[in-house]
Amino acid sequence: MHVFTTGEIRFTLVRRLRYHLLQTYMPSFFIVFMAWINFWLDMDSPPARVSLGVTTVLTMITQVI
């Protein structure tokens, strides 16, 4: 008969909801809202539309890094 020694480790993970709301969800919401403003800009002003799109993409990339 074989005798085996065992051990047990338990991890308790806690998610901080307020932190994730303030640091991830709210900024992302406002960035996406800023991108939607593009639909209300005048079609005859490409520089404004392009700069808003580029700013949105760069902001999302910076937020992820």
Which residues form the domain of 42?
A: 17-64
In a domain, residue 5? The reply is no
Question: Given pLDDT bands bounded at 50, 70 and 90, which one contains residue 45?
Answer: confident
pTM tops 0.85, yes or no = no
Examine the pLDDT at 38 and tell me if it is beyond 90: no
What is d(CA 17, CA 31) in angstroms, rounded to the nearest whole number? 20
In a domain, residue 1? The reply is no
Helix or strand (DSSP H, E) at 45: none
Examine the pLDDT at 10 and tell me if it is beyond 90: yes
Q: What secondary structure letter does DSSP report for 13?
A: -
In a domain, residue 43? The reply is yes
